[in-house]
A and B are shown apart, each in its own frame.
Chain A
Amino acid sequence: MNQAPPLARPAAPAAFRRRSGPSRLRASQRRAGVLFALPIVILELVLLGLPVAQAFYYSLTNWDGLTATWVGVGNYQRLFGDPTFWQIVGNNLLLLASIPVAILIPLLVAYLLNERVTGWRFFRSAYFLPTAISWVVIGMVAIRVFANQGILNSVLAPFGLHVDMLSHEFTAMLAVIITFIWSVFGTNTIIFVTGMATLDRDIYDAARVDGAGAVATFWRITIPMLMRFIQFAFILTLITAFTALFSLIFVMTGGGPGYATTTLEFYVYQQGFTVGVFGYAAAIGIVLFAVVFAISIAQIRIFRSRLD
Chain B
Amino acid sequence: MDRLRRRMGRAVTFAILSIVGLVMLFPFGVMALLAFRSFDQYIAGSGFSLESWQILFATIPVIQQLINSTVVTAGAVAIIVVVSTTGGYAFAKLGFRGSSVVLLGVLAGMMVPLQSIIIPEFVNVSQAGLINQFLGAIVVYAALGAPFATYLMTTYFRGVPNELIEASLMDGASFWQIFIRVMLPMGVPAIVTVAVLQVIQIWDDLLVGLLFLQTPNVRTITVGLATLQTSRMVNVPALMAGSLVSALPAIVVYLIFQRHLVRGLTMGIGR
Contact = CB atoms under 8 A, between A and B. Distances in A.
Contacts of B77: none
Interface stretch (B47-55, B60-68, B85-93, B185-193): B85-93
Interface string B175-211: 1100100000000000000000000110111110011
Contact of B119 (A135, A250, A278): A278
B130 to A, nearest CB: 11
Interface string B88-118: 0111111111011011011101111111111
Contacts of B162: 16
A282 B99 contact: no
A250 B270 CA distance: 34
A46 B10 CA distance: 56
A278 B203 CA distance: 28
Nearest to A280: B119
B262 interface: yes
B140 interface: yes
A34 B91 CA distance: 9
A33 interface: yes
Candidate in B25, B142, B158 with the most chain A CB atoms within 10 angstroms: B158
Interface string A71-85: 000000000000000
Given A37-B96, A131-B261, A3 B243 contact: no
Interface stretch (A6-14, A90-98, A163-171, A199-207): A6-14
A104 interface: no
A172 to B, nearest CB: 16
B183 to A, nearest CB: 10
A157 interface: no
Contacts of B71: none
B226 A136 contact: yes
**DSSP majority for the B interface?**
helix
Contacts of B261: 128, 131-132
Interface in B135-169: 139-140, 142-148, 150-151, 154-155, 158, 162, 165-166, 169
A254 interface: yes
A305 to B, nearest CB: 15
Nearest to B150: A40
A41 B106 contact: yes
Interface residues of B, number: 110
**DSSP majority for the A interface?**
helix
A70 interface: no
Contacts of A119: 14, 17
Contacts of B147: 44, 48
A133 interface: yes
Interface string A100-128: 00000000010011010111101101111
Interface string B245-257: 0110011011000
B196 to A, nearest CB: 10
Contacts of B118: 268-269, 272, 285
A187 B264 CA distance: 11
B269 A191 contact: yes
A132 B253 contact: yes
A55 to B, nearest CB: 5
Given A8-B270, A52-B117, A129-B254, A37 B229 contact: no
B44 interface: no
Nearest to B228: A140
B225 A136 contact: yes
Interface of A: 1-11, 13-18, 25, 28-37, 39-41, 43-44, 46-52, 54-55, 58, 65, 109, 112-113, 115, 117-120, 122-123, 125-145, 151, 182, 185-187, 190-191, 194, 214, 228-229, 232, 236, 242-243, 246-247, 250-251, 254, 264-265, 268-269, 272-273, 278, 281-282, 285-286, 288-289, 292-293, 296
Interface of B: 9-10, 13-14, 16-18, 20-21, 23-25, 27-28, 30-31, 34, 79, 82-84, 86-87, 89-97, 99-100, 102-103, 105-107, 109-121, 123-124, 139-140, 142-148, 150-151, 154-155, 158, 162, 165-166, 169, 175-176, 179, 200-201, 203-207, 210-211, 222, 225-226, 229-230, 236, 239-240, 242-243, 246-247, 250-251, 253-254, 258, 261-262, 265-271
Lowest 8 A-B CB distances belong to which pairs? Answer: A8-B270, A33-B94, A134-B204, A47-B143, A132-B254, A15-B95, A54-B120, A40-B87
